[in-house]
Amino acid sequence: MSYHRPNRGGRRRFGDDYDDRRREIVESPQERLKNIIIKLGEVDPLQEIATVEQHIRDLVPPSISNLSESFHIGVTEQPYKIPFYAALLRLLHNTPPKEDTSDATEQVSLGRQILEEFWKGFQAYVDKLMWRETRLCIHFFAHLVSAQLISADSFVALLQSFTTVLDEFGVSHGRAKRAALCAAEGLMIAGSTLTASTPTIPSEIINAIQAYTETTNSGKWIVQPIVQLHSSSVYVEIADELLDTALAALKALENSGFEGPYPRPYSDYPQLDAETFTPFSLPSVLVPPEVIELDGLSTEAEESEMKKEEWPEFFLRLFPDDVTPDPNTPAGYAVRTDLLAMIDIFEVNRKECARLLLEYPKWTVPGTFKPKPGAPAPEIEPLVNYEWQLESTLLEIILAASLILPESSQPHIYYTALITEVSKLSPSTVGPAVGKSIRKLYSSLADGLDVEIERRFSEWFAIHMSNFNFAWVWKEWIPDLELAVQHPKRAFMRRAIEYETRVSYYDRIKKSLPEAMGEPGAHVLPQQPPGPDFMYEDPTKPHHDAAQSILNLFRGRAKAEDVIAHLDTLRNTLEAEISDSGQPDNVNSLVRVIATQSLLHIGARSFSHLLNAIERYLPLLRTLASGGVTSAASTGNPEAKTDILSATASFWKYNSQMVAIVFDKLMQYQIVDPADVVSWTFSHVSETGIDEPEADLKAPLSLSTFEWNLLKAALNKAIGRVNIARRKLALLRKEDDENRARVRHMDVDGEPKPAESVPENPALNVALKAFSSLTREQKSALSRTLEGFISCLAPSITSAHPNPQAKEILTEHSWHNRVNWGKEEWSAWETWGWYRHFCRVYSPYLRNYAATFATVSFARFEGQSDPAIELLQKIWNVSTGQE
Amino acid sequence: MNVVQRLDQPSNYKDSQSRVDRRYQDDLLSNSTTLYIGNLSFYTTEEQIYELFSKCANPEDGGGIKRIIMGLDRNTRTPCGFCFVEYYTHAEALASMRYISGTKLDERIIRCDLDMGYKEGRQFGRGKSGGQVRDEHRQDYDPGRGGWGAQAQRLEIERRRQEVEERYVDAQDGPGAVAGGGEEWREVENSEGKLKRGRSPGDEGDNERTVGSFIVSPRCQRLR
């Protein structure tokens, strides 16, 4: 069957265009008004408020629901416009002079009707726990309190219903954080009005948040961006924790009588007549409990969707306070809050997000940001003189949000793409801010910047550079080539170049580097492109002929069974050879390695070739994995699977990306299990270098980012499978329940049928079995990872290559002496970093097995006092919520 | 979201040769795990594509890159500037639309589009000379896409393609020519017969494709 027809040219396009035209709908007057309201202030916010008011009044009869919805969209999707929407609503509270005032309903202003309707929408957000919308509505209400439209007392009560959440027993950090921000930010905006009626409210809210944050210290310790192995205190020089900044800003505002940093366009309007006007009194609300937290009570807890743990959030600072806002100050906090909300809201369109971010200054109090160079002098006298740099502020906030530990709230690539867009819109002003941010992060690498932050930093760097011609001034880092080879700065350079090469190609990246970085001793750029290394390629190498015989079968598309049969023969031949030469080689293992490498060789041309090779020879791979050359067991043989993984790692030793890809597909096709990859990674960390010249650079028993990525891929594969199985099971359970209900319903005689009469759903049993076996596998992968880390960091005396530095580097003295650290010290340090990250990022899963794992892994240390063991245990306890 | 347009909506692009009706197409697209990627350089490799698109993969949710199908010139079996990336989940395809479409790969701005799913034969260009239709009509000089439009500078194209021309000479069409990438996990059975995936017996060995020594028209090429 062919799809190819001649003369298709443009005809089809015409059809598409026609369809699009047809779908265009004519805008109704209500739609048009909604758009006018949403677009409020795109040219001149202050001037447009009255114009939009007029548009609203002109459309009669008013549709209150349409108007309220428009305000909702405005407030929850464009938080920077909230003060202006408050002003608009204030104007709509004016009752225009009417000749006939006999009709009582005419007395209720349009604004009041909208507000009452708006409130219902807010109530719905709270009921559905839509926290962002809830918080932004509170911003709006706070401005309305300042504009005298809402009663201060009722707003105080609203804020109190959020501080109550902080006192809930066992409240999750995510819930507490969001509730605290609602109360804090409402107070920040409306503080001066609120204190007039309720003087105690600031201290009440501050104390509630403070009491809560004091309970979060160990959590802060495990997610702070600077690793301090020797100390359990929180290091605050380079980053600020979100709730701490809210507290600091609140305290500053309290001291200044809530002289807020917010635009208040409504403050110039005449006062409403106190005789006739009664402010709206917000009804009381109750913040409902989290759905998931209720779910925990259900009997099938294990089957319910895993909830991500939330931790305190540290935002890195990259610039001094006179360049970018300090979030501990009220004005700085307000700016960052707006920008973070925008980054979050416009995630669906990064291009528009970038444009809106660059336009942000127009929504702020004049003088907040430095005017654009060459822009005409502002018409309005600046009210403040912060003069922050917009581009640096944007870079700092986007990067900080992208580097939050253990995970950023959006996928990391979103922030990367957003920075690319911001840079594209204004290359000459954003470029320098990007450069300074990179230099600042790079310099922090020497001060203990977290390993996961370093990993994301190098990923961002590579993708960013690939969008901007790989133009980086590498030569300024040449002096750092003197540092120890595993120093984080050198590790960063290696990794950044490796990642750049992956999205580009070797010669292109080589050209972008100064000569010094291409030197073999620099260990920055590998000496050759990342190609395969087929062990038996060279005719002079042992077993070349054996490999050729297998390759010939593959090339001739021999059936898998025939290859398996050939391997049997080959094994006998090799056995004879080996016994002649007297080498103590394991012949089964040798056959597996030759066969695996040969298969990878025919699949080496591209990812698709790899998939074709694997798929064509799945029975062969399964036979290899089962241990015997003849097919036997199905679960495979650990030793055999180790051989397959080792053969892969050595075949692609110059290409870490391909190692990860092949491992991923070997897991996908169920040749190896995630737990096999975990075990392999820990038992081979000291053997396989990414690049041969670097093999000797590796310290014994330590993990670098390469190994961490393999572990992460294996753990995520195991977790992903459980998630798929869980969803499938939930679906089948639902179907099953419905079927049962139907059977009961059909039974019209009134005699309820006994439960057995409903046939068991065989699919449900299969799904249950799959779920439990995958859950077991997930548990085993996690437990082996924990064991692996312990064997690296607290090695037993009998272990093969203990790193003597794993314990030595834990003292404060050693840390301050880190300029003298060599590769072993830095390797040990990095391994500690990955252990810490493993515990905190997989904490929701680890918690499920905390008791079992602790018994298996930590009980043996009972009674021993050793700083490494204590730290291992402490990190574990904090991550699993036991400390 | 009312204030801005989402970037992860399917565009006007539709498989122009697909015969399924529009509503069914929309239905397929709203669950699609496949992306069409356009404006690639002819020299971009699957591994480069894998690296970039893996940034949107979410294995913790059961996702990942299932397979990549490189678009090939029907006659020369060399990449001709497009590919399909197939994920395991729809959410990953949407994420690529939001975060990758419109950014650079191999120093070209690439375009992603939700696709109804790879169908046999779609890996080949549909232009008269074997590549993509757009390269037939192109007037500009584009070094990443074989230089001048296909009607001119044939020699120049051949020279520049040397780097990649070897890679896909073995590319086939017909059922089973393109690997699946690995399906969902399932309980491993003991019997060997059940282990074998459903490949038709004709798949192995006997469908080696010999490229015709003369070509009457693109249509004949496909029908043979």
Whether residue A476 has pLDDT greater than 60: yes
Task: Please tell me the least confidently modeled range out of A289-293, A581-585, B82-86.
Answer: A581-585
The tens digit of pLDDT for each residue in A531-581 reads 999 999 999 998 999 999 999 999 999 999 999 999 999 999 998 887 776
In angstroms, the separation between the Cα of residue A415 and the nearest Cα of chain B is 9
Residue of chain A minimizing CA distance to B100: A417
Collect all residues of chain B within an 8 Å Cβ-Cβ radius of residue A605.
167-168
Across the interface, whether the CB atoms of A770 and B187 are under 8 A apart is answered: yes
Whether residue B207 has pLDDT greater than 50: no
Amino acid at A568: D
Provide the H-helix boundaries in A365-522. Answer: 390-402, 412-425, 427-444, 451-467, 488-503, 506-511, 515-518
Across the interface, whether the CB atoms of B98 and A348 are under 8 A apart is answered: yes
Residue A801: predicted pLDDT = 63
In angstroms, the separation between the Cα of residue B7 and the nearest Cα of chain A is 5
Across the interface, whether the CB atoms of A611 and B45 are under 8 A apart is answered: no
Amino acid at A876: W
Residue of chain A minimizing CA distance to B200: A616
The tens digit of pLDDT for each residue in A236-252 reads 789 999 999 999 999 99
Whether residue A298 has pLDDT greater than 50: no
For the record, the structure tokens of A762 come out as 């065989």
Amino acid at A101: T
What's the mean pLDDT in A206-226?
95
In angstroms, the separation between the Cα of residue A57 and the nearest Cα of chain B is 23
Collect all residues of chain A within an 8 Å Cβ-Cβ radius of residue B178.
608, 612
What's the mean pLDDT in A291-309?
58
- C-alpha angle A491/A496/A498, rounded to 5°? 95
Alpha carbon A870 to its chain's center: 30
Residue A382: predicted pLDDT = 82
The tens digit of pLDDT for each residue in A116-155 reads 999 999 999 999 999 999 999 999 999 999 999 999 999 9
Distance between CA atoms of residues B169 and B208, nearest Å: 11
Kindly report the CATH class assigned to A29-95+109-256: mainly alpha
Q: Which of A807, A821, A813, A815 is nearest to A864 (CA)?
A: A807
Residue B117: predicted pLDDT = 87
Q: Are B65 and B86 in contact (CB under 8 A)?
A: yes
Q: What is the DSSP letter of A26?
A: P
For the record, the structure tokens of A190 come out as 């409306």
Query: How far apart, in Å, are the Cα atoms of B123 and each of A10, B69, B97, B161?
Result: 21, 7, 21, 18
Alpha carbon A861 to its chain's center: 35
Q: Are A587 and A578 in contact (CB under 8 A)?
A: yes
Q: Are B146 and B135 in contact (CB under 8 A)?
A: yes
Residue of chain B minimizing CA distance to A626: B190
A204 Cβ contact list (under 8 Å, min separation 6): A160, A163
Collect all residues of chain B within an 8 Å Cβ-Cβ radius of residue A773.
187
* Residues A289-297: contacts with CB under 8 Å, at least 24 apart: A289/A168, A290/A129, A290/A172, A290/A175, A291/A129, A293/A172, A293/A175
Range with top average pLDDT, A396-410, A582-596, B143-157: A396-410
- What DSSP element (H or E) covers A241? strand A239-241
Q: In 10 A of CB A141, how many CB atoms? A: 28
Q: In 10 A of CB A320, how many CB atoms? A: 9
Query: How far apart, in Å, are the Cα atoms of A223 and each of A220, A450, B79?
Result: 5, 9, 46
Compute the mean pLDDT over every residue in chain B, rounded to the nearest whole number.
77
A694 Cβ contact list (under 8 Å, min separation 6): A523
Distance between CA atoms of residues B53 and A258, nearest Å: 48
In angstroms, the separation between the Cα of residue B102 and the nearest Cα of chain A is 9
Across the interface, whether the CB atoms of B70 and A467 are under 8 A apart is answered: no
Question: Could you say which residues from 2 to 41 on chain B have a Cβ atom under 8 Å away from some Cβ of chain A?
Answer: 2-8, 12, 14, 16-17, 22
Q: Are A575 and A626 in contact (CB under 8 A)?
A: no
Residue B123: predicted pLDDT = 81
Q: Which fold has domain A317-330+344-468?
A: 1.25.40
Collect all residues of chain A within an 8 Å Cβ-Cβ radius of residue B16.
8, 12-13
Residue A806: predicted pLDDT = 85
**In degrees rounded to 5, what are phi and psi of residue A24?**
-65, 125
Distance between CA atoms of residues A748 and A628, nearest Å: 61
Whether residue A319 has pLDDT greater than 80: yes
Distance between CA atoms of residues B207 and B176, nearest Å: 10
Whether residue B137 has pLDDT greater than 70: yes
Q: List residues bridging with B35 in a β-sheet.
A: B85, B114
Residue whose entry in the numeric block shows the structure tokens 């922050």: A388
Whether residue A115 has pLDDT greater than 50: yes
Residue A23: predicted pLDDT = 52
Query: How far apart, in Å, are the Cα atoms of A12 and each of A6, A8, A18, B16, B27?
Result: 13, 7, 10, 7, 20
Q: Which of A74, A85, A188 is nearest to A133 (CA)?
A: A74
Collect all residues of chain B within an 8 Å Cβ-Cβ radius of residue A19.
22
Nearest to A20 among B7, B12, B167 (CB): B12
Across the interface, whether the CB atoms of A350 and B167 are under 8 A apart is answered: no
Collect all residues of chain A within an 8 Å Cβ-Cβ radius of residue B99.
350, 411, 413-414, 416-417
Residue of chain B minimizing CA distance to A555: B205
Instruction: Name the band, by pLDDT with cuts 50, 70 and 90, for residue B211.
Output: very low
Q: In 10 A of CB A380, how many CB atoms? A: 9
Q: List residues bridging with A226 in a β-sheet.
A: A449
Instruction: Name the band, by pLDDT with cuts 50, 70 and 90, for residue B158.
Output: low
Number of H helices, E strands in chain B: 8, 6
Instruction: Name the band, by pLDDT with cuts 50, 70 and 90, for residue A272.
Output: confident
Whether residue B195 has pLDDT greater than 50: no
Output the 3-class SS for A66-80: HHHHHHHHHHHHCHH
Residues B19, B20, B25, B28: is their CA dihedral positive or negative? Answer: negative
More confident residue, A381 or B41: B41
In angstroms, the separation between the Cα of residue A491 and the nearest Cα of chain B is 20
Residue A483: predicted pLDDT = 96
Distance between CA atoms of residues A574 and A591, nearest Å: 8
Question: Could you say which residues from 147 to 176 on chain B have a Cβ atom under 8 Å away from some Cβ of chain A?
Answer: 167-168
Burial string for A259-289 (b: 16+ CB within 10 Å, else e) reads: ebbbbebbeeeeebeeeeeebbebeebebee
Residue A428: predicted pLDDT = 94
Residue A259: predicted pLDDT = 86
User: Looking at chain A, which residues constitute the CATH 1.25.40.180 domain(s)?
Assistant: 29-95+109-256, 317-330+344-468
Instruction: Name the band, by pLDDT with cuts 50, 70 and 90, for residue A366.
Output: very high
ipTM above 0.90, yes or no: yes
For the record, the structure tokens of B65 come out as 């890159």
- Testing the interface with B: which of A31, A421, A456, A608 to mutate, by most B Cβ within 10 A? A608
Helices A451-467, A427-444: inter-axial angle, 10-degree rounding: 150
- Testing the interface with A: which of B25, B58, B69, B98 to mutate, by most A Cβ within 10 A? B98
Whether residue A407 has pLDDT greater than 50: yes
pTM score = 0.90
Burial string for B74-113 (b: 16+ CB within 10 Å, else e) reads: bbbbbbbbbbbbbbbbbebbbbbbbbbbbbbbbbeebbbb
- Testing the interface with B: which of A305, A307, A716 to mutate, by most B Cβ within 10 A? A716
Residue A296: predicted pLDDT = 43
Whether residue A593 has pLDDT greater than 80: yes
**In degrees rounded to 5, what are phi and psi of residue A259?**
-75, 90
Q: Which fold has domain B22-127?
A: Alpha-Beta Plaits (3.30.70)
Across the interface, whether the CB atoms of B47 and A606 are under 8 A apart is answered: yes
Q: List residues bridging with A314 in a β-sheet.
A: A241
Across the interface, whether the CB atoms of A503 and B105 are under 8 A apart is answered: yes
Q: What percent of chain A has pLDDT over 70?
A: 89
Domain ranges of chain B: 22-127
Residue of chain A minimizing CA distance to B128: A6
Compute the mean pLDDT over every residue in chain A, rounded to the nearest whole number.
89
Number of H helices, E strands in chain A: 39, 2
Residue of chain B minimizing CA distance to A619: B196
Helices A823-841, A451-467: inter-axial angle, 10-degree rounding: 90
Distance between CA atoms of residues A334 and A248, nearest Å: 12
Distance between CA atoms of residues A336 and A329, nearest Å: 10
Output the 3-class SS for A96-159: CCCCCCCCHHHHCCHHHHHHHHHHHHHHHHHHCCCHHHHHHHHHHHHHHHHCCCECHHHHHHHH
Distance between CA atoms of residues A491 and A495, nearest Å: 6
- Testing the interface with A: which of B1, B37, B47, B132 to mutate, by most A Cβ within 10 A? B47
Q: What percent of chain A has pLDDT over 90?
A: 75
Q: Which of A765, A504, A430, A117 is nearest to B107 (CA)?
A: A504
Range with top average pLDDT, A95-99, A301-305, B152-156: A95-99
Q: Is B118 on the interface with A (CB under 8 A)?
A: no
Residue whose entry in the numeric block shows the structure tokens 């009134």: A750
